């Protein structure tokens, strides 16, 4: 049975339902038209429409909160109460007709993610979490848990974009390294136990803010790629998401595989 969530958490669910309807209006398995931003990443009308909807809904319901979104924001450096939103995570997937895309939103108070939702409207999978109340698959009224995998033999680790050296290290230990190019989608799979770990190699808080609380309330762990906690109202130092059991060993492999050096030289103005 679902716990009694706070009103702001319930509001995340409302936002996800509205966002899902918009995304499905635009989605086509034949692909979707898009334009390119200055950083060469893709943007669709669906991205823009969902982001605008979130800002309008927050301004009506919670005028004391600001929105930090991928396509549009109304926050500033002094904003302490935020909805951190990715209106369409996996835009590249969306534009080519792949079903691997999500809406993501988190309540972030003074840099800390305290509630989050990730919704894949095609999979009909809504993961909702609040601090201290677990992570729930809404469609099945079921509390979720990360995997219990304690070694790398046949472990499922999403290594992130172009992390071939890390993937090779993991494969040498018996792990499998399938690639999913949508951060909130592979974060969802960590929270539900499908993946045992996943690497995010960029700096955008809106990609990971909801994943942080959703994975940790499912019993996992989310840190930067140095193994440290970080704020979700500032640029990130990447992210490592895991079932918690494998986290420390993954941090060691990240260091050995040169991933930190790649993050330090990554052109943050260019992304998928």
pTM for the complete prediction?
0.95
In terms of CATH, what superfamily is 7-143? Answer: Fructose-1,6-Bisphosphatase, subunit A, domain 1 (3.30.540.10)
Cα separation, 189 vs 192, whole angstroms: 5
Q: Which residue intervals of the chain bear CATH 3.30.540.10? A: 7-143
Cα separation, 107 vs 81, whole angstroms: 8
Concatenated DSSP letters of 177-207? ------HHHHHHHHHTTS-SEEEE-S--HHH
pLDDT tens for each residue of the chain, 272 residues long? 899 999 999 999 999 999 999 999 999 999 999 998 877 789 999 999 999 999 999 999 999 999 999 999 999 988 999 999 999 999 999 999 999 999 999 999 999 999 999 999 999 999 999 999 999 999 999 999 999 999 999 999 999 777 788 999 999 999 999 988 899 999 999 999 999 999 999 999 999 999 999 999 999 999 999 999 999 999 999 999 999 999 999 999 999 987 777 676 654 443 43
Helix axes 164-172, 247-256, angle to 10 degrees: 120
The domain made up of 157-265 is a member of CATH 1.10.357.10: no
User: 143 has which bridge partners?
Assistant: 136
Q: Which residue intervals of the chain bear CATH 3.40.190.80? A: 157-265
């Amino acid at each position: 049975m679902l716990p009694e969530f706070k009103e702001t958490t319930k509001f995340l669910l409302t936002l996800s339902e509205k966002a899902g309807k918009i995304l499905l209006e635009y989605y086509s398995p034949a692909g979707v038209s898009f334009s390119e931003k200055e950083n060469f990443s893709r943007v669709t009308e669906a991205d823009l429409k969902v982001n605008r909807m979130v800002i309008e809904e927050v301004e009506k319901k919670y005028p004391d909160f600001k929105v930090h979104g991928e396509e549009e924001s109304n926050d500033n450096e002094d904003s302490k109460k935020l909805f951190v939103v990715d209106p369409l995570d996996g835009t590249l997937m969306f534009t080519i007709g792949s079903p691997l895309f999500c809406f993501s939103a988190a309540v972030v108070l003074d840099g800390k993610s305290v509630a989050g939702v990730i919704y894949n409207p095609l999979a009909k999978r809504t993961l909702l979490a609040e601090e201290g109340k677990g992570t729930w698959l809404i469609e099945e009224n079921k509390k979720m848990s990360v995997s219990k995998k304690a070694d790398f033999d046949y472990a499922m680790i999403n290594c992130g974009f172009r992390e071939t050296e890390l993937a090779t290290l993991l494969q040498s230990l018996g792990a499998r390294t399938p690639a999913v190019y949508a951060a909130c989608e592979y974060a969802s799979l960590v929270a539900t136990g499908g993946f045992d770990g996943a690497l995010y190699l960029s700096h955008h808080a809106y990609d990971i803010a909801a994943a942080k609380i959703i994975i940790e309330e499912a019993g996992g762990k989310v840190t930067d790629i140095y193994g440290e906690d970080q704020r979700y109202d500032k640029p990130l130092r990447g992210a490592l998401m895991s079932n918690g059991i494998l986290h420390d060993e993954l941090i060691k492999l990240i260091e050995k595989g040169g991933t930190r050096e790649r993050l330090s030289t990554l052109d943050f103005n260019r992304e998928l």
